[in-house]
Amino acid sequence: MVFRLRAFLLFFMLAALTIPLFCQEDGEDEDDDEAIASDWSGIASVYSRGDQIFNVNLGLVFPHFYYGGGIGKVDTNIDMGGMASLAYHYFFTPHIYLGGELSAMFAPTIGDNMYYSIPFGMRAGYQFVLGRFEFPLTLMLGFAAQSYLDSSYFGFFAKPVVGAYFRITQNWSFGVQTEYWWIPQIGATNKMDNASSAVHGFFWDIGIGIRYHF
């Protein structure tokens, strides 16, 4: 009887000692929940000056048309291809950011050859935020190296970008984006008519993207 009483008292004392620990853990969980809720309470609390993003995007490229070269608008004779890009953004306000991008695309031609382009340049944009949904609008300006068979060209490049992302956690978001590529070839081969020999290539792509926020 005495042994059972002592065992019961020992069990009761151990239980009493563990109650504060459980209470403390519950309190810490509540504090964490409140902190997470406050992080998502408004636009200003999600982004601030100094926030940064790495964005990886993979997609399909669709040729639109060529224009110029003294013949006006013509088909590209290029089939659907693929693209990949890596971009960096630095936020100066909760909405405005600057950064850079390196991307690459390839597309087969109807003659079973391959066209390649590697654009790189600066990015500037404005991002709308609605809860965990983020809608970045970006303009990229830079240069692109192009190659086809034995021919190559290096010149100006530009594209607007529209995206829609869902913020899965504080560090990761996932979504889709579409881009419209403008790839001009200004270097004229006809010295008598520089304007008509310039050719402008237009492509658009759609892809999926994942972003890391830090």
Q: Domain map of the chain by residue range? A: 1-39, 44-213
Tell me, what's the pLDDT at 113?
86
- Over residues 48-97, the pLDDT tens digits come to 899 999 999 999 999 887 776 666 666 667 888 999 999 999 999 999 99
Q: Number of C-alpha atoms within 13 angstroms, CB side, residue 4?
A: 1
Do 200 and 76 meet the contact criterion of CB atoms below 8 Å apart? Answer: no
Tell me, what's the pLDDT at 72?
61
Tell me, what's the pLDDT at 19?
40
Tell me, what's the pLDDT at 141?
96
CA nearest neighbour of 144 among 109, 187, 196: 187
| Burial (CB count within 10 angstroms: exposed 0-12, middle 13-18, buried 19+), residue 18 | exposed
Tell me, what's the pLDDT at 69?
60
**Rounded-to-10 torsion of CA 34, 40, 44, 49:** 90
Please, what is the end-to-end C-alpha distance for the chain in angstroms? 63
Q: Which residues of the chain have pLDDT under 70?
A: 1-45, 68-76, 187-197
Q: Does domain 44-213 have CATH number 3.10.20.30?
A: no
